């Protein structure tokens, strides 16, 4: 992200921070407290790194983001004068996607399957920006979810403290996650949704032998 600031400012362009995707809960103050603390930490870092602005998914986050940038910018409209000459990033570093200490976990696999199915179901109903687990998600989320699953299956990635990821395991987890979604929504809301279609589309883009270019090209075939 520091290289982004350096690159933008070198060309006289504003550097925008990432979106804070949190959607406040009207029922759980503790969820809000923890999430807002994380948003504050993230926006403080962006402002300190030299970003000129940022964006948020919900109006309730605007004061937190504004405070972070006002503290650094003061009356200035931007930080274009911060050229960040000390930042040096090589092509090799940009291509190295390894996460120190990272591993493939069952929780991560379940999250990918569940969120992927829920987003596609929303998309099939014409809702392209969906609130899932108090986060605003768009098609990029589902693309990341299904891409990770496809990669893990393709390379038989081993789960931490478990066996390899394969198509049978993904389908088994999909069964379980579909059951959890149905229990949470209730039969009435479930029956009004398109979860079976969404699951079929997700499995097609996550488990196909060849990697489909875009999940929407597959999912749109199920549009009315």
CATH number at residue 166: 1.20.1220.12
Does 40 share its domain with 123? no
Write down which residue in 51, 73, 95 finishes a domain: 95
Does 68 share its domain with 169? no
Q: How far apart are CA 129 and CA 21, in angstroms?
A: 11
Tokens at 135, concatenated: 């986060």
Instruction: Note whether residue 28 is domain-resident.
Output: yes
Burial class (CB in 10 A: 0-12, 13-18, 19+), 120: buried
Instruction: Note whether residue 101 is domain-resident.
Output: no
Instruction: Note whether residue 126 is domain-resident.
Output: yes
Q: Tell me which residue of 139, 207, 143 sits closest to 172, measured CA to CA.
A: 207
Write down which residue in 55, 72, 95 finishes a domain: 95
Count CB-CB contacts under 10 A for residue 133.
11
Does 116 share its domain with 198? yes
Does 115 share its domain with 136? yes
Q: How far apart are CA 186 and CA 190, in angstroms?
A: 6
The tens-digit pLDDT sequence of the chain (224 residues) is 999 999 999 999 999 999 999 999 888 999 999 999 999 999 999 999 999 999 999 999 999 999 999 999 999 999 999 999 999 999 999 999 888 888 999 999 999 999 999 999 999 999 999 999 999 999 999 999 999 999 999 999 999 988 999 999 999 999 999 999 999 999 999 999 999 999 999 999 999 999 999 999 999 998 86
- Is the pTM higher than 0.95? The answer reads no
Does 51 share its domain with 13? yes
Rg, the chain, Cα only: 20
Write down which residue in 95, 122, 149 finishes a domain: 95
Does 140 share its domain with 195? yes
Q: Tell me which residue of 7, 5, 62, 8 sits closest to 36, measured CA to CA.
A: 62
Instruction: Note whether residue 10 is domain-resident.
Output: yes
DSSP characters over 131-169: EETTEEE-HHHHHHHHHHHHHHHHTTPBPTTS-B--HHH
Instruction: Note whether residue 57 is domain-resident.
Output: yes
CB 208 within 8 A of CB 167: no
Does 115 share its domain with 146? yes
Instruction: Note whether residue 157 is domain-resident.
Output: yes
Instruction: Note whether residue 218 is domain-resident.
Output: yes
Q: How far apart are CA 121 and CA 170, in angstroms?
A: 18
Q: What are phi and psi of 101, to 5 degrees?
A: 75, 5
Does 113 share its domain with 217? yes
Does 118 share its domain with 46? no
What is the structure's pLDDT at 99? 84
Domain encompassing residue 135: 106-222
Structural domains of the chain, count:
2
Instruction: Note whether residue 100 is domain-resident.
Output: no
Does 130 share its domain with 172? yes
Does 146 share its domain with 120? yes
Does 211 share its domain with 156? yes
Q: How far apart are CA 119 and CA 122, in angstroms?
A: 5
Hey, which residues does 34 pair with through a beta bridge? none
Q: How far apart are CA 63 and CA 42, in angstroms?
A: 14
């Amino acid at each position: 992200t520091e290289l982004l600031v350096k690159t933008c400012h070198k060309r006289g362009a504003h550097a925008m921070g990432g979106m804070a995707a949190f959607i406040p809960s009207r029922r759980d103050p503790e969820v809000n407290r923890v999430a807002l603390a994380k948003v504050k930490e993230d926006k403080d870092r962006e402002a300190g790194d030299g970003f000129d602005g940022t964006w948020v998914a919900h109006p309730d986050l605007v004061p937190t983001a504004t405070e972070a940038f006002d503290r650094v910018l003061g009356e200035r409209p931007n930080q274009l004068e911060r050229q960040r000459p000390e930042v040096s990033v090589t092509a090799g570093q940009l291509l190295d996607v390894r996460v120190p200490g990272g591993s493939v976990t069952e929780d991560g696999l379940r999250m990918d399957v569940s969120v992927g199915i829920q987003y596609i179901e929303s998309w099939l109903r014409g809702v392209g920006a969906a609130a899932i687990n108090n986060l605003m998600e768009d098609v990029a989320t589902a693309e990341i979810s299904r891409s990770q699953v496809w990669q893990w299956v393709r390379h038989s990635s081993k789960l931490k403290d478990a066996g390899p990821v394969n198509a049978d395991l993904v389908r088994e987890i999909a069964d379980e996650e579909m059951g959890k979604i149905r229990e949470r929504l209730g039969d009435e809301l479930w029956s009004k949704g398109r979860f079976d279609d969404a699951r079929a589309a997700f499995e097609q883009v996550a488990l196909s032998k060849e990697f489909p270019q875009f999940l929407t090209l597959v999912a749109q075939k199920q549009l009315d």
